[in-house]
């Protein structure tokens, strides 16, 4: 064999090797996202960014509705203003998105804009909180949305109240109530739970109630006001001080205010919270929050599963309630907290 032929053979073998290698590497590559025009367009009208819960919820939607999964997601945050959500939904209708996902700020006020979406033939999926339609309008509320997924907020309130009954028994309670945004399902359900407890217990007194709008800053301000107005009982009197805080961020604010005033959360004042985010669970272990009722924000995959059923021509369930639990020191471990999704 001449030197030239040897070289030519060597080159051919190298070429073959290269071709094999590139062919072998194809299956390991990530599937290319679908072309832009094939993506399913989803418009998500989000409440805002008021809490850790809300941030986790937005993140969950972003991951579930990625381009790799075949979606183009537009999120419009409403800064907790219902009228911003109405504008957002109208924009989605104008853009002719395939699906509208609505996380309603308040329950009321959706008749007109959801009728417009219905008229445009765009399915609406409601997530987290619920809507309510004024019965005087004679509109079939259920015809305005395709399906809903979220939490049973009334049950969450009842769970918190059952723990208060069990933990404090006949002792007199001095209750400070930090409410979420008034008119939101999360506020309404959790407040109804407490009101039922108050009506059933003569030894429970409501010392203060106001909306902390689900934010740390407002929660802190309200507890500063409670302290300035001397609304907490002297712990030495035998009366138990309880802060019933309708979300974790307001509880963080309450803890700041109590500690700044030299009070000990978990000893002078017991905090009952909602959401059960990772930071709050740490605060249970350190004793500053006594009880936390879970409200799960990881709705992205749930909403996507509903939309996928619709795309396959199936009829998803009208209502899907998420299974939730509650935490105290007794059922918490460090590893549970580390593995928490939010
Ligand atoms: O609707 C769910 C509530 O909204 C969460 O409890 C709160 O943290 C959020 O802002």
Q: Tokens 């000893």 label which residue?
A: 267
Q: Are 70 and 53 in contact (CB under 8 A)?
A: no
- Measured by CA distance, the residue closest to atom 3 of ligand 1 is 186
Average pLDDT over the chain, rounded to an integer: 93
Question: Tell me: the pLDDT tens digits for 56-90?
Answer: 999 999 999 999 999 999 999 999 999 999 999 99
- Whether residue 120 is predicted with pLDDT greater than 70 in this model: the reply is yes
The β-bridge partners of 44 are 75, 101
pLDDT of residue 18: 45
User: Given the CA of residue 48, which atom of ligand 1 is nearest to it?
Assistant: 10
Question: Tell me: the pLDDT tens digits for 186-209?
Answer: 999 999 999 999 999 999 999 999
How many angstroms is it from 327 CA to the middle of ligand 1? Answer: 17
In angstroms, the CA 101 to CA 55 distance is 16
List CB contacts of 243: < 8 A, sequence separation 6 or more. Answer: 175, 176, 177, 178, 223, 251, 254, 269, 270, 271, 272
User: Given the CA of residue 275, which atom of ligand 1 is nearest to it?
Assistant: 6
- Residues within a 6 A CB radius of ligand 1: 50-51, 53-54, 128-129, 186, 214, 247, 274-275, 295
In angstroms, the CA 297 to CA 237 distance is 40
pLDDT of residue 235: 85
How many angstroms is it from 26 CA to the middle of ligand 1? Answer: 44
Tokens of residue 166, six digits: 């069990």
User: Given the CA of residue 52, which atom of ligand 1 is nearest to it?
Assistant: 8
Tokens of residue 23, six digits: 């062919």
Task: Please give the distance of CA 333 from its chain centroid, rounded to a whole number.
Answer: 23
How many angstroms is it from 248 CA to the middle of ligand 1? Answer: 9
List CB contacts of 87: < 8 A, sequence separation 6 or more. Answer: none
In angstroms, the CA 245 to CA 205 distance is 16
User: Given the CA of residue 295, which atom of ligand 1 is nearest to it?
Assistant: 6
Tokens of residue 100, six digits: 């509208």
* The Cα angle at residue 162 between residues 254 and 154, in degrees rounded to 5: 75
**Comparing C-alpha atoms, which of 244, 270, 237 is closest to residue 168?**
270
Question: Tell me: the pLDDT tens digits for 227-269?
Answer: 999 999 998 999 999 999 999 999 999 999 999 999 999 999 9
List CB contacts of 310: < 8 A, sequence separation 6 or more. Answer: 99, 123, 146, 316
**Comparing C-alpha atoms, which of 105, 114, 111 is closest to residue 146?**
114
**In a mutational test of the pocket of ligand 1, which residue from 85, 106, 180 has the highest number of ligand atoms less than 8 Å from its CB?**
180
Tokens of residue 285, six digits: 């272990």
User: How many angstroms separate the first and last alpha carbons of the chain?
Assistant: 69
User: Given the CA of residue 47, which atom of ligand 1 is nearest to it?
Assistant: 10
- Measured by CA distance, the residue closest to atom 2 of ligand 1 is 186
pLDDT band at 36 (very low <50, low <70, confident <90, very high): confident
């Amino acid at each position: 064999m001449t030197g030239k032929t040897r070289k030519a053979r060597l080159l051919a073998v190298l070429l073959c090797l290269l071709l094999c290698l590139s062919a072998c590497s194809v299956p390991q590559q990530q599937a290319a996202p679908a072309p832009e025009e094939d993506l399913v367009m989803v418009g998500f009208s989000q409440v805002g960014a008021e809490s850790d819960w809300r941030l986790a919820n937005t993140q969950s939607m972003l991951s579930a509705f990625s381009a790799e999964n075949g979606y183009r997601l537009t999120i419009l945050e409403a800064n907790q203003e219902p009228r911003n959500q109405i504008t957002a939904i109208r924009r989605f209708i104008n853009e002719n998105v395939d699906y509208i996902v609505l996380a309603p700020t308040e329950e009321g006020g959706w008749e007109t804009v959801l009728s417009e979406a219905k008229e445009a033939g765009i399915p609406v999926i409601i997530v987290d909180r619920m809507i309510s339609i004024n019965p005087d309008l004679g509109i079939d509320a259920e015809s305005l949305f395709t399906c809903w997924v979220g939490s049973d907020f009334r049950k969450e309130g009842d769970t918190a109240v059952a723990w208060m009954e069990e933990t404090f028994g006949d002792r007199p309670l001095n209750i400070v109530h930090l409410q979420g945004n008034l008119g939101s399902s999360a506020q309404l359900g959790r407040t109804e739970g407490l009101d039922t407890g108050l009506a059933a217990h003569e030894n429970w007194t409501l010392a203060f109630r106001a909306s902390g709008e689900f934010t740390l800053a407002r929660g802190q301000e309200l507890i500063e006001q409670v302290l300035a107005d001397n609304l907490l009982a002297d712990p030495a009197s035998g009366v138990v001080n309880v802060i019933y805080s309708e979300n974790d961020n307001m509880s963080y604010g309450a803890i700041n205010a109590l500690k700044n005033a030299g009070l000990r959360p978990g000893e002078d004042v017991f905090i009952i919270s909602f959401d059960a985010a990772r930071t709050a669970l740490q605060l249970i272990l350190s004793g500053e929050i006594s009880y936390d009722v879970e409200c799960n924000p990881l709705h992205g995959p749930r909403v996507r599963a509903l939309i996928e059923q619709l795309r396959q021509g199936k009829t998803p369930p009208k209502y899907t309630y998420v299974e939730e639990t509650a935490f105290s020191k007794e059922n918490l471990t460090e590893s549970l907290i580390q593995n928490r999704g939010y």
